Structures are given as C-alpha cells and as structure tokens.
C-alpha cells in the first residue's frame, strides 16, 4: 500500500491546470510539523473531494485514525473510545447543536464558507471547554474580494446556491441556502418514510484600520418521519438558528483581542402533534492573545452561556422508546455556564515548546451548581532538522470535564440532569511525527484515557437475535480507552492527495469490579483515501474502509460477542469544463459501491445494506 503511494507521487508532483475553483481553495493548515498535539487539519478543496463525503468537507473526520463511526449513515463519531456526546462540534469556536444533517446528510454550513476543518482527537487547548472526548472545529474563510461570485449546485439529494459580492468601503456580503430531499431515496428502503432538510447562512464582514468585524445569521432544520431500521425516532423535527457578531482588534503589535456575541433559538419536536421544546439562549466570549516576550505567548479568555426553555416534552414515550428513561432537568428553570482559561506557550530552548494551561467552569441549572477545574500540558520537541523539522516528538496530559449530554445532540437540550454530576476524563498521549521523502508525513501516536466518573451514559448495545435497541440507560461509573494510531499522509503533492490510517483501540466500561467492551468499541480500523487530478480536467478519488464489529449481548451476558466487521468502498469522479467565465463541474459520488451490510450498534442486529449515489452539477461564476 505504501509502495503504491510512492509511485502515485511521481505523477502527482507535476502542476495541474488551474481552474477558478482551485484559485479559491484554502491554504492547508499543518503543512509543516506544527507544535500542537494531535492536530489534523484539512483544507476545503482536499476534504470536499473525499469520496462518500458528498462534497462536504466536515465528513472527512470519519476517515481519520482514532475516529469510530457509530453508524456510517449517521454523522455521529466516537473519538478515542469516548461517547459521541463527548465530542464538541464548533464553527469558529462557536458551539453548534447539530453540525450535520441527519442520515448521510451534509454539514449544516455551505462548503463555500469553510476554510479548513481541524480535528483534535485529544489533548486540546484550554480554550475548548465542556467536552471530555475530542473537538471538531471548522474555520470559516473570508468572503472573496470579487465584484460577484455565484456558486450553484444540484445533485440527487439536495440543491444549493451561494452568492457573494463586495460593497463600497471594503464591506463584503455573502448568502447561501440549501434544500435537501433525500426522502426520495429513503422511501426505496422503507416505504412510507419521509425526510427533508434545509440550511441557510448570511454573512456581512469588513475591516476598519486595525479592526475586523462580521455579522452572521445561520440556521438549519431537519424533518424525518418513520425510520425505525436505523434506530431513529419515528418522528423528528429539529431546527436551530444563530445570530453571531464577531470582532477582532489588534490593540498593539503584541496584543490582540477577539470577541463573540451569540443569540440562539432552538426547537426539537418528537411528536407530530407539536409536543416539543423551544429554547432561547445567549453566549458571549472574549479572547486575548499576548506576546509577552519573544519566547512566551499567553492566551486567556472568558465565556458565558445561558438558556431558557419554554417547554420540555421532546423526550418520552412519543419518541418511540429510543430516548425513554432519559433524565432531563426541569424545563421551567434556566441553565447555563461560565468559564475562564489561560495558557502560555513557552520556548525555553530551540526546538522545544511547552504549553501549560488551566481552565475553570461553573454550570448551573435551577438550584444545582457544579464547578470543574482542569489542568493541561502539551509539549513538542523537534528532534531532527534545521531549516525544516523532519522528526518531532510530542506528548500531552490533562483533565477534561463536561455536563451529561444525550448520545445524539438535540437542539435545545444542551445538557441533561446536572444533579447527576459532571463527567470527567484524564487524557494522556505521546507520539512522533516524521517528514518522509516525497513530501509525506508519518504520524505514530499512542494514548490512554480514563473516564471517571461517567455519571450518565446511554447504553445502545444490541442483543443478538433481536432487532430492538434496548432503551435502558447504562449504569457505568467508570470508563477507559487506550490504543495506537498510525497515519501516513501526502502533504505537498500538487496533483494528488491521500492518506493511509490504522487504529488499534480498546474502549471499556465498568459498573463494578469487572470491565466490559463499550458499545461502540472497534478494535481495528483501516482507512485508505487517494485522489488524483488527471489530464483534461478529470479528477478521480476513492476511499476504502474496514472496521471490526462492535460488541453485542448474548444469552451468556453483556457484550459477550461481536457483530461482523464492515468493509466499505466509496468512489468519486469529477469532470470540469471552463466556458467563458463559468466553471462547470459534473461529479458522481457513490458511497458503499459494494452494497456491504453494516451490522451492530445503531444499525441493529439484522444490519442495514445500502448504496448512496450522488450525481450532480456545480456551476461557478
């Protein structure tokens, strides 16, 4: 497999013909070995051409080492053995209640707004609070400085339109809208089902001397009815809306300030008669970055969040049993949190960077208050290389806290019964990164995470011979996960991209003296992704994936057997035409071309066999 990558690079190193779309692709973060722990960043152009992603850059996260898919048609990743509820989905640091649409849907943000997607599988900065697993953070790009830019796209599951323009006084505005109609395909597998979604974004931004500002309005909604085969409620209608104000100010050449103000409205409904919850919230954050000395950089910030609910009947018997017995706080009381953090990046020796940090958070819900304090430490050392670091050693350790959350994020339900306490994890990792000939990057990393206590964690392991998902909560009080991750990735090829990843991991839970496998524990995962630009503006990419089966219950007891492993192959073909001022891209993206059956976890014991084709056209002016 590695030999194929080397041969592949001989053709890939030559310059491709530059098209209008490539001109606006973002600069990849992490092209050099950076002094950050376990950061994996991908630019828009690379990530959106990963097969099976349907052109959405956020879907690249499921093709990375350490990320386990709970079900390949549901964008609910479990990172390094933690619950999916332990992963934070962010957009420019703003928490998003649902980053993806349901089923195999795209992210709720138009790809044109996305600059890069960064995955922190562990050991992340103290600027991120409220999660004990990993962080997926999307960074938006500046609006193009063009008189007019139009990006229209239509395929077999959705249609979208993006428009941007530049106004006088260096002010720019962009707007997008998308409507999805995947229910047409869903009815082929389950007659009587229906599913549709939408999302929108409007953004205005500008500069004034040493200050930058932006005003964004974004939102999304999904409506799904009857989809019992894949473990989703019989009726789901969710939506969220955000108004975001951002301001960046370079106070002095050594001191910068970034601030955000967010107003939110969420609604979740699990009953066709209208029973559900509506919530209103406000969030604020201020971040300071100070270069204290030539070898000391300090970053500090404060943030606060508050929410009030109008009703809270989204869960219960009407949800088809999936969320029964889930404890929630009294809807008539407000809930929220406040937090503060500080960390310093020190360079005491050439090639050595050490980043200690601390964070404090307070959560409240009615008369219940909980406080957490976290300490974290990251270290990076360049062991070999002068002009460019060719071999680096890195390590991290730290504590992380979060309130109890649902397994699958639901808008308006930020956390569950706070009186059950906060969840905590103690994360440790160490590894190396090496720059190899041919502009490849090799990464080897091991980790050990202790989750204690877990408090509340829904249990979804299925019983062998039954297609029902038991709704009984997991009484686990402790958890642990450990494993090793290997990644070989091309970093500078002009005509190609790709990587090979392997993960060996073990995730366990305990409610007493004995340990048993976690419901989404997968011992082995292998991923191969490769894409190449061909002559005459053709582009081909493929992804192969294998993941071992998840635990299942048998008559012998809890998690005493495993579901079969799952093999999936995806392919994507693009053909670009340039006509006058138009770039026209025809593409075919097919997920699971082999019609493999996925069994276990959210797919149930009977399994789910599918193929997901997307044939579309994209026009760029």
| Arithmetic mean of pLDDT, 145-149 | 87
Determine the pLDDT at residue 398: 96
| Arithmetic mean of pLDDT, 394-409 | 88
Tens of pLDDT, residue by residue over 547-586, are: 998 888 777 777 778 888 889 999 999 998 888 888 888 9
Tens of pLDDT, residue by residue over 221-279, are: 998 886 454 444 467 888 999 999 999 999 999 999 999 999 999 988 877 666 678 88
Rounded Cα distance, 175 and 129, in Å: 30
SS3 call for 416: coil
**3-state DSSP: the chain helix, strand, coil percent, rounded to 5?**
10, 55, 35
Q: Does 432 or 494 have the greater pLDDT score? A: 432
Strand partners, 267: 239, 278
Nearest alpha carbon to residue 412 among 261, 242, 268: 268
DSSP codes of every residue in 75-143: EEEEETT--GGGPEEEETTEE-S-SB-STT--BSS-GGGEEEEEEE-SS--TT--S-SS-EEEEEEPPP
Determine the pLDDT at residue 5: 34
pLDDT at 443 over 70: yes
Q: Does 202 or 496 have the greater pLDDT score? A: 202
Report the first-to-last Cα separation within the chain, whole angstroms. 39
In angstroms, the Cα distances linking 435 to 7, 422, 528, 593 are 18, 41, 19, 34
Tens of pLDDT, residue by residue over 505-556, are: 999 988 777 888 888 888 999 999 998 888 988 999 999 999 998 888 777 7
pLDDT grade, residue 328 (50/70/90)? low
pLDDT at 91 over 80: yes
Whether the CB-CB separation of 129 and 359 falls below 8 Å is answered with yes
User: Strand locations in 168-295, DSSP E?
Assistant: 171-180, 194-208, 211-225, 235-252, 255-269, 276-293
Name the most confidently modeled range: 9-13, 200-204, 467-471, 579-583. Answer: 200-204
Rounded Cα distance, 53 and 64, in Å: 13
Whether the CB-CB separation of 593 and 610 falls below 8 Å is answered with no
Express as a percent the part of the chain with pLDDT over 90: 36
| Arithmetic mean of pLDDT, 597-621 | 78
| Arithmetic mean of pLDDT, 337-346 | 96
Determine the pLDDT at residue 290: 96
Whether the CB-CB separation of 236 and 270 falls below 8 Å is answered with yes
Whether the CB-CB separation of 365 and 328 falls below 8 Å is answered with no
Rounded Cα distance, 163 and 173, in Å: 8
pLDDT at 395 over 50: yes
Express as a percent the part of the chain with pLDDT over 70: 80
| Arithmetic mean of pLDDT, 592-617 | 79
pLDDT at 413 over 50: yes
| Arithmetic mean of pLDDT, 415-432 | 87
Q: What angle do CA 146, 151, 157 make, to 5 degrees?
A: 165
Structure tokens that stand for 418 in this block = 């706070």
Determine the pLDDT at residue 602: 65
**SS3 readout for 2-18:** HHHHHHHHHHHCCCCCC
Rounded Cα distance, 189 and 619, in Å: 31
Structure tokens that stand for 301 in this block = 């910030």
Nearest alpha carbon to residue 132 among 372, 424, 434: 424
pLDDT at 496 over 70: yes
Structure tokens that stand for 380 in this block = 């990076």
How many other C-beta atoms are found inside a 10 Å radius of the C-beta of residue 66? 28
Determine the pLDDT at residue 439: 82
Structure tokens that stand for 107 in this block = 């992210």
Strand partners, 118: 41, 137
pLDDT at 363 over 90: yes
Whether the CB-CB separation of 260 and 293 falls below 8 Å is answered with no
Secondary element (H or E) of residue 183: helix 183-189
Name the most confidently modeled range: 87-96, 110-119, 208-217, 402-411. Answer: 208-217
Whether the CB-CB separation of 96 and 59 falls below 8 Å is answered with no
In angstroms, the Cα distances linking 496 to 11, 433, 438, 538 are 9, 21, 12, 12
- Sort strands 149-155 and 135-140 into parallel, antiparallel or unpaired: unpaired
Q: In a 10 Å sphere around its CB, with 0-12 CB exposed, 13-18 middle and 19+ buried, how is residue 596 labelled? A: buried
């Amino acid at each position: 497999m590695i030999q194929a990558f080397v041969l592949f690079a001989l053709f890939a190193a030559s310059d491709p013909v530059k098209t209008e779309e490539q001109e606006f692709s973002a600069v990849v973060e992490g092209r050099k070995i950076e002094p950050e722990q376990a950061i994996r960043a991908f630019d828009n152009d690379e990530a959106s051409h990963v097969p099976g992603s349907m052109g959405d850059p956020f879907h690249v996260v499921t093709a990375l080492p350490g990320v386990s898919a709970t079900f390949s048609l549901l964008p609910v990743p479990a990172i390094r053995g933690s619950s999916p509820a332990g992963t934070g989905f962010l957009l420019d640091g703003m928490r998003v209640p649902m980053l993806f649409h349901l089923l195999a849907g795209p992210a709720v943000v138009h790809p044109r707004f996305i600059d890069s997607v960064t995955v922190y599988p562990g050991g992340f900065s103290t600027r991120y609070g409220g999660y004990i697993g990993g962080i997926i953070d999307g960074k938006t790009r500046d609006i193009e400085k063009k008189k007019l830019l139009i990006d229209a796209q239509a395929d077999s599951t959705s249609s979208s339109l993006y428009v941007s323009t530049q106004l006088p006084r260096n002010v720019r505005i962009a707007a997008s809208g998308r409507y999805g109609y995947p229910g047409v395909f869903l009815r082929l597998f389950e007659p009587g089902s229906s599913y549709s979604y939408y999302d929108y974004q409007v953004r205005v931004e500008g500069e004034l001397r040493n200050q930058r500002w932006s005003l964004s309005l974004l939102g999304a909604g999904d409506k799904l009815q009857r989809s019992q085969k894949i473990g989703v409620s019989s009726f789901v209608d969710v939506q969220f809306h955000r108004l975001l104000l951002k301001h960046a100010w370079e106070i002095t050449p050594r001191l910068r300030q970034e601030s955000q103000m967010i107003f939110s409205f969420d609604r979740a409904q699990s009953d066709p008669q209208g029973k559900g919850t509506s919530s209103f919230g406000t969030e604020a954050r201020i971040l300071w970055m100070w270069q204290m000395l030539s070898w000391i950089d300090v970053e500090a910030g404060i943030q606060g969040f508050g929410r009030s609910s109008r009703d809270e009947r989204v869960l219960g018997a009407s949800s088809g049993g999936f969320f029964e017995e889930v404890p929630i706080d009294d809807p008539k009381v407000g809930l929220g949190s406040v937090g503060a953090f500080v960390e310093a990046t020190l360079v005491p020796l050439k090639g050595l960077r050490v980043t200690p940090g601390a964070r404090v958070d307070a959560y409240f819900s009615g008369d219940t208050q909980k406080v957490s304090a976290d300490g974290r430490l990251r270290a990076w050392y360049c062991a070999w290389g002068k002009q460019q670091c060719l071999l680096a050693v890195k390590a991290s350790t730290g504590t992380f806290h979060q309130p109890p959350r649902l397994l699958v994020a639901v808008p308006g339900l930020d956390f569950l019964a706070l009186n059950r306490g906060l969840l905590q994890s103690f994360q440790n990792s160490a590894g190396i990164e090496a720059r190899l000939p041919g502009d490849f990057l090799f990464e080897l990393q091991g980790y050990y995470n202790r989750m204690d206590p877990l408090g509340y964690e829904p249990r979804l392991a299925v019983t062998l011979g039954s297609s029902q998902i038991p709704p009984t909560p997991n009484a686990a009080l402790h958890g642990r996960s450990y494993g090793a991750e290997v990644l070989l990735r091309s970093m500078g090829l002009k005509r190609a991209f790709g990587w090979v990843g392997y993960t060996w991991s073990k995730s366990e839970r305990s409610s007493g003296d004995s340990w048993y496998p976690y419901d989404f524990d997968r011992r082995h995962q292998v991923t191969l992704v490769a894409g190449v630009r061909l002559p005459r503006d053709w582009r081909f990419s493929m992804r192969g994936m294998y993941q071992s089966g998840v635990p299942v219950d048998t008559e012998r007891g809890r998690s005493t057997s495993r579901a079969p492993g799952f093999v999936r192959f995806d392919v994507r073909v693009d053909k670009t035409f340039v006509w006058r001022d138009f770039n026209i891209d025809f593409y075919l993206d097919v997920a699971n071309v082999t019609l493999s059956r996925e069994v276990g976890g959210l797919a149930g014991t009977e399994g789910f066999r599918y193929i997901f084709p997307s044939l579309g056209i994209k026009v760029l002016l």
